[in-house]
Amino acid sequence: MAPGPDDKRERLVGRLRDLRRRLDAPAEDQDVFELDLYSYDESLIVAADLLDVEVPKGARDEMSAEQREVLEGRLAAAGIHVRGGDVRGTG
C-alpha cells in the first residue's frame, strides 16, 4: 500500500527537523554544512508546496537567510514547526 499524505508529511517534518538540528550545530565540515543547507532549503519548498504555503519570491532559485526565516514562519503558521513542536503532534 502506498504511503498516505500524513505519512509523507511526517517523514518530511522529521527530515526538516533533523536538517535544522544539524545546521544549528557547529559546522565541522563546510562541504557537509552546505549540502545540508541545500537539502534543507529544498525540503522547505517541498513542505510549502505540500501545504500550499507561499514561497518567497526568488527563494526557489537560491534562498537567503531572510527568505528561509520567512518560509519557516509561514510553515509554522500552517502547522509545521521545523524547530520542533508540530501542532499536529508529530513532534
Say if 57 falls within a structural domain: yes
Evaluate whether 42 touches 71 at the Cβ level (below 8 Å). no
| Range of the structural domain that residue 33 is part of | 5-78
Could you report the per-residue pLDDT of 50-60, keeping only the tens digit for each? 999 999 999 99
pTM of the model: 0.84
Number of domains in the chain: 1
Name the helix (H) or strand (E) containing 73.
helix 65-78
Does the pLDDT at position 91 exceed 60?
A: no
**How is residue 23 written as a grid cell?**
545546521
Say if 51 falls within a structural domain: yes
| Residues counted in the chain | 91
Average pLDDT, stretch 83-91? 51
User: Tell me, what's the pLDDT at 15?
Assistant: 95
Q: By mean pLDDT, which of 12-21, 28-37, 46-55, 80-89 is the weakest?
A: 80-89
Say if 83 falls within a structural domain: no
